[in-house]
Every structure is written in structure tokens, then in C-alpha cells.
Amino acid sequence: MGVLAACGNADSESSSGDSDGGDESASSGEEKVIKAGIGLNDDHPQYKGLLKFKEIVEEETDGAIKVETYHSGQLGDDRSMTEALQLGSQEVTIPSTAPLANFVSDFSVFDIPFLFPDEQVADEVLDGEVGQELLTKLEDQDLVGLTYWENGFRDLTNSKRAVASVDDFDGLKIRTMENDLHLDAFKALGANPTPMAFTELFTALQQGTVDGQENPYATIYLEKLYEVQEHVSDTHHIYSPFVFLMSKSFYDGLTEDQQTIMKDAAVEAGQEQREMNREANEEYLQSLQDEGMEYTEISDEDREEMVETVQPVIEDYKEKIGEETVDKVYQAIEDAQ
Ligand code: TK8
């Protein structure tokens, strides 16, 4: 972890020698450093998107703002990095919305199982009015949500049995993200869920603390979960957005121009990230089978039974999420189709 020790605190003057001293940076007077940390590894489109963000920001600010990138949870997990943004000790992270619901409960609307029919509808809702309105709710938490990126549709893996129907969930110990709705949805399906940070997951699967987990194919493949999992089913039970988050104290200290650059860079890099992510998810289901995983396709009837089984949980949560937000999102989904 020497790389972390070397990077200093967020307020420190950055390393000398590589500033071009141009007038463009004169407005802020000093070179600023963004420490950007994510949970997934450097093969994942999440990291490739972050590198794109770095490239745009450093170019557009003529080096006045530098971006240091950290992957694989080197700076922490989704929750702890979000807290670091609140404290101002880290500037950027890109968590899934599920753990973010512990900061702003409205984000749990995206934890409603089987909410989005496909990625295109998700894009329209997230990039549209209600999605953007949700981002503004982060400000009370000292966070700035610049835009959405994509984690993607989540699919179930486990080491015990092929899961084709609700009955097959029975007693399976499944790691979920740290999110109450996910926990209760898996309980309703008959599983035995345990919430856990992603950074703990591989070891937990390896040691058998849990039997299974759920994540998009890209993550299952690129994080090599196939080494410790045997079965994969196309449950597609939740579409997981990422949120590109910036520390509010850092953002507020930027010039207006710089703030615009941040937003535009996050959006532009996010468009690429979404494309790369979709390609990866398409490609890697086959790769998982090539690595020896057994693939189970869920039939329409069985998926319908899953939808019905979790319905009472959804009803239960509407108030907790906020009826207004839930209604707006349902409406936006209808409008997008
Ligand atoms: C990465 C996480 C992750 C998510 C999870 O930081 O926890 O399972 O899907 O990939 O956001």
C-alpha cells in the first residue's frame, strides 16, 4: 500500500515540476488534486471510465486539476469512500446506488427488483428529470452527484446448485450489498442473505462464509468470481446504477468553469463507460461458461414467480423510499417505453 502513503492529504500542494504554469490555472492559484477511488479492479469498465474522466479533466484544465486514480477498493469500500467524501479527505468515488440509499433513502427506488426492463429505459429515467432531481438530494449530505454511470443488471451466482426458480433459493447464503431492500427481497425469495461490502466478497465466497452473490457478468468475470462459484443464472433481478460522486466541499472550492468541466467530463466519460460496460456484459456470460461455470436460463414463468414473490416487499418499502419518488420513477419508466 506504499502508493497510498505517498499520496498525502487532499489539501497538500501537489508534486512540483509538472505544472505548466499557464494562465488558465491562475483563477484558482494552485494545482488541485482529485483523489478518485473505486471498488472494482483496473480491468473493469468502471476503471476505464475513470481514466477517461482523468484524461478529460487534466486536458481541459491544462493540468490545473490532477486526478489520481485508485481501484480495487484501495481507498475503501462504497460506504467508507462516500464518508471520506463527506469529510473532504477524498474527492471522487463511484458507488452503486444501493449503499448510497443509506445516505439518501430515495435512492432505494432503484433497489426495487425488476424495475427497469432494459438499459435504454434506465438511461432515460436516470438522465431525465427524476434521475437528476435525485442527484440534487445528495447535497444535504455534503455530496455532489454529477451523473450516473452503469454497474448493470445483476445476476445470481452460487456454489451450491443451479437456480432456476424461487424454490431453488431455499436457504442459500447470499451476500447482498449493504441495503435493506435487497436483504428483505432475498429473504422473501427464501434465501439467507448477509450484507457485506464488495471488498470482503471474494474471501467470503472462497471461505464459504456465503454460498453466493449477485453482480453483473462483467464483475463476475473480471473479478474472477468464477474461481469460487459454480452456477450462474440470468436472474437480471436488479439494474444497478453507479453514481459519480464528488465531495461537496471540494466542488464548492472550484471556479464555475472548473465545475462545468467536472460535470461534462463525468457525463462524457460515463457515456463511454456505459458502452464498454454493455459490451463487457454481453461478452462475459460466454467467458464464464468457458471458465467452467454452469449457466441456467430463467424461464418467463419462473421469473414471473420471482416478481410476484418480492411484490409484498416492494409495497412495504414504498413509504420508506418516499411515495413521490417511487411514483415519479414508475411514471418515467412508462413514458420511456
Ligand atoms: C463496487 C461495488 C460493487 C457492487 C457490489 O464498489 O457491491 O456488489 O455491485 O461492484 O459498487
Is the CB of residue 151 below 6 angstroms from any atom belonging to ligand 1? yes
Least confident interval from 7-21, 192-206, 240-254, 306-320: 7-21
The answer as to whether 21 is a domain residue is no
The protein residue whose alpha carbon is closest to atom 3 in ligand 1 is 198
The protein residue whose alpha carbon is closest to atom 9 in ligand 1 is 215
Same domain, 97 and 144: yes
Report the relative pairing of strands 231-233 and 155-158 from DSSP bridges.
Answer: antiparallel
Same domain, 61 and 163: no
pLDDT > 80? residue 5 = no
Question: How far apart are the C-alpha atoms of 103 and 30, rounded to whole Å?
Answer: 32
Same domain, 161 and 204: yes
Inter-residue contact 225 to 291 (CB < 8 Å):
no
Structure confidence at residue 30 (pLDDT)? 78
The answer as to whether 18 is a domain residue is no
The answer as to whether 266 is a domain residue is yes
The answer as to whether 182 is a domain residue is yes
Q: Which three cell numbers stand for residue 335?
A: 413514458
The answer as to whether 7 is a domain residue is no
C-alpha distances in Å from residue 119, one per residue of 31, 89, 135, 274, 281: 38, 34, 19, 9, 12
Structure confidence at residue 63 (pLDDT)? 92
Condensed to tens digits (0 to 9), the pLDDT of residues 198-207 reads 999 999 999 9
Q: How would DSSP label each residue in 206-220? A: HTTS-SEEEE-HHHH
- What average pLDDT does the chain have? 93
Same domain, 185 and 110: no
Same domain, 183 and 92: no
Cα 100 from chain centre? 9
When pLDDT is averaged across residues 9-21 and rounded to a whole number, the result is: 39
Query: Which atom of ligand 1 sits closest to the CA of residue 40?
Result: 1
SS3 275: helix
When pLDDT is averaged across residues 56-85 and rounded to a whole number, the result is: 98
When pLDDT is averaged across residues 173-179 and rounded to a whole number, the result is: 98
Question: How far apart are the C-alpha atoms of 156 and 177, rounded to whole Å?
Answer: 13
Going by pLDDT thresholds of 50, 70 and 90, the confidence category of residue 12 is very low
Same domain, 118 and 198: no
Number of domain units in the chain: 2
Is the CB of residue 210 below 6 angstroms from any atom belonging to ligand 1? no
Residues 6+ apart with CB under 8 A from 96: 78, 151, 177, 240, 241, 242
Going by pLDDT thresholds of 50, 70 and 90, the confidence category of residue 7 is very low
Q: For the chain, what percent of residues have pLDDT higher than 90? A: 91
Same domain, 184 and 49: no
Cα 18 from chain centre? 33
For residue 254, how far is its CA from the centre of ligand 1 (angstroms)? 29
The answer as to whether 1 is a domain residue is no
Q: Which three cell numbers stand for residue 89?
A: 479527505
Condensed to tens digits (0 to 9), the pLDDT of residues 185-200 reads 999 999 999 999 999 9
300: containing domain: 155-238+286-336
For residue 40, how far is its CA from the centre of ligand 1 (angstroms)? 7
Is the CB of residue 46 below 6 angstroms from any atom belonging to ligand 1? no
Q: For the chain, what percent of residues have pLDDT higher than 70? A: 91
Structure confidence at residue 238 (pLDDT)? 98
The protein residue whose alpha carbon is closest to atom 1 in ligand 1 is 39
pLDDT > 90? residue 284 = yes
Of 41, 72, 78, 90, which is best to mutate to test ligand 1, by the most ligand atoms within 8 angstroms of its C-beta?
A: 78
Query: Which atom of ligand 1 sits closest to the CA of residue 38?
Result: 6
Same domain, 193 and 298: yes
Residue 325's domain is classified under what CATH number?
3.40.190.170
Same domain, 91 and 60: yes
Same domain, 212 and 69: no
Q: What is the pTM of this model?
A: 0.91
Same domain, 232 and 166: yes
Q: Give me the half-sphere count of Cα atoms (radius 13 Å) on the Cβ side of residue 255.
A: 15
What burial class does residue 156 get, using C-beta atoms within 10 Å of its C-beta: 0-12 exposed, 13-18 middle, 19+ buried?
Answer: buried
For residue 96, how far is its CA from the centre of ligand 1 (angstroms)? 6
Query: Which atom of ligand 1 sits closest to the CA of residue 242?
Result: 11
For residue 39, how far is its CA from the centre of ligand 1 (angstroms)? 6
Is the CB of residue 273 below 6 angstroms from any atom belonging to ligand 1? no
Structure confidence at residue 69 (pLDDT)? 98
Same domain, 180 and 262: no
pLDDT > 60? residue 25 = no
When pLDDT is averaged across residues 237-265 and rounded to a whole number, the result is: 98
Structure confidence at residue 71 (pLDDT)? 98
Q: What are phi and psi of 28, to 5 degrees?
A: -100, -15
Is the CB of residue 95 below 6 angstroms from any atom belonging to ligand 1? yes
Structure confidence at residue 317 (pLDDT)? 97
3-state secondary structure 81-138: HHHHHHHCCCCEECCEHHHHCCCCHHHHHHHCCCCCCCHHHHHHHHHCHHHHHHHHHH
Question: How far apart are the C-alpha atoms of 311 and 133, rounded to whole Å?
Answer: 26
Structure confidence at residue 29 (pLDDT)? 62
C-alpha distances in Å from residue 2, one per residue of 34, 38, 43, 287: 18, 18, 21, 34
Of 90, 194, 215, 277, which is best to mutate to test ligand 1, by the most ligand atoms within 8 angstroms of its C-beta?
A: 215
Q: Which three cell numbers stand for residue 170?
A: 431455499
Is the CB of residue 147 below 6 angstroms from any atom belonging to ligand 1? no
Q: Tell me the residue ranges of DSSP E strands in the chain.
A: 32-37, 65-70, 92-93, 143-153, 155-158, 173-176, 192-195, 212-215, 231-233, 239-247, 294-296
The answer as to whether 14 is a domain residue is no
Q: What is the ipTM of this complex?
A: 0.99
Inter-residue contact 111 to 101 (CB < 8 Å):
yes
The answer as to whether 214 is a domain residue is yes
